[in-house]
Structure 1
Amino acid sequence: MSDAVQLHRRLRVALQNNDHQEAIACLKEAAALARTEGDHAAEGRHLGNLALIYNRLGKPDQALRCFEKALRLVRAEGDRVSEDGLLGNMGNILREQGRYDEAQEYLNAALRIAGEIGDSRGRGIWLSNLGLVYDDLKQSERAIECHSQSITVARQLRDQRGLAARLRKLSDSFLSAGNPTEALKCLGEALTIYTEIGDQQELLAGLMAGAGVHTALAQAAASPGESHLYYHNALEYDRHALVLARAEANHTAEADLLAHVGEVLVKTGRLPDAQDYLRAAHQLYGMLNRPDGQAAVNRYLKYLAETD
């Protein structure tokens, strides 16, 4: 059995077991072996995978150094496919570091190559990630444009999971732009997709986001009647989400939802019911060692005690 095959098997087992240190050792050996054999394209790919692991371990600077070495190698070999992926991944890390000008530069470069080589999947991903850069910069119109284009790509590829995730991002951008109607429309389509594909975790997150949107709308409503309607919708989202959180034994989400339901019930004047939810949230936050959650709930419980 060749050294390359043995390394590949070791790497596969390490990744399956989430043994990051063994995976790092395997990729370093594989890169060195490829260098010895003069296969610089393979060396670059191994370094790129090593960079991904470093980033996953919270070591972005090491990841960028590996990506830079990999980029030089694949460019020298004319490997445009690998160059596309490396540039995009570097752009993502730079965005996470708040280096937005550089992030835009790398993501736009990845977009250009994806277009040139016909990589529709990559183009959709880089458009979505570029939209996140503009979200961070509070440039909502440009973010909406990027997310919308990435959604078009996902529809063309019939990538339902990717489509739902990008609809969530577009929803957030519309909300930042002060357009809650479009935000809820996008979120509603995403929730339908998550229901159809059976992704309970993302459905839960989407329902919690929907409750938050309706609560914000209630607080900004022009009349008490309009406010009451939005609060009612928020509670519907919360209660559906509570069922999922409990079914998934997601106690963190359950505590947050109990607290949010209690908060909404306080604001709609249903104080006895609010107290039940808030006390349940307080108890669960205690079990989860979440003093921040308990402190937030205590403010409402104090208010209820004073108005009793």
Structure 2
Amino acid sequence: MKKIGVLTSGGDSPGMNAAFRAVVRTAKTLNMEVMAIRHGYKGLIEDDITKVTPHDVSNIIQRGGTVLKSARCDEFRTKEGREKAANVLKKHKIEALITIGGDGTFQGATHLANEHDINVIGVPATIDNDLVGSDETIGYDTALNTAMEAIDKIRDTADAHDRLFLVEVMGRDAGFIALETGIAGGAELILLPESLTDIDDVKASLNEVLSEQRRSSLVVIAEGDDTGGALKISEELKPDFSKYEMRVCILGHVQRGGNPTARDRVLASRLGSAAVSVLNEGHSQVMVGVVNNKVKLTPLKMTFGKKKDINFDLLELAKTLR
């Protein structure tokens, strides 16, 4: 294999640049030429492609976001769009494609591979950590630390005013960020998509906490919690907790930004390099992940449409410690 392409797609994730860097530099050792595709599948369809060298990826390992850019692309969801993409790959004589992203990215790559016989490898990068096949995904550790730092600051002002704070973190379909930042931030209550939330139980738990006359109370809520998020929960709670100052804080996309942590940089470097190596070994339509500290290959078709389980032992721990 002499020429490969690489793109980032879907939501940006800290560490994507480290993975891109690892792809380029590992390819160099195997005498492969690397073509960088900007703006994800949209850029692939529009032929936004340039050759990159190891020098071109200098000084990006520490940067958040993605220098390759990312974009949503409805056209790629169609067979016609994927045919355009395949023709662009053939035009540049690109023999394989490394896709850095999440389940939507891998689903698109699988369709492209099946319809046009193109070799594809997936590198898991999503702050939600919800992909089957890797203990952690690129960007998750950075998002955890970003959310934890914000919660620590919120706790300071909550203590100063004896307030009840409802903090919403990202996690539309998975509660990994909420669970671990809730424990690390000493939250009195953690609400997740994986466990049904009964508003009466929430009220009872808060009454128990507030009756102990703690200086402040903190509830961490995943945005995908079945109650509808922090704003909706606050409306449900106000009638019964009117004597308490209640504040809602939605952390939002601040969790996607920032320089990747050392842990994310190492993980991204490891997976980016592994993606090139397994391509060179003849693999295709697999995702490279790390399970029990070893690189593991998972068929791409197994990475989307499935839910990765949270650690329910941690959920029980959170209940014990509140």
Whichever of the two has the greater Rg, that structure is 1
Q: TM-score of the superposition, structure 1-length normalised? A: 0.28
> Per residue, is there more strand in 1 or in 2?
2
> Per residue, is there more helix in 1 or in 2?
1
Q: TM-score of the superposition, structure 2-length normalised? A: 0.27
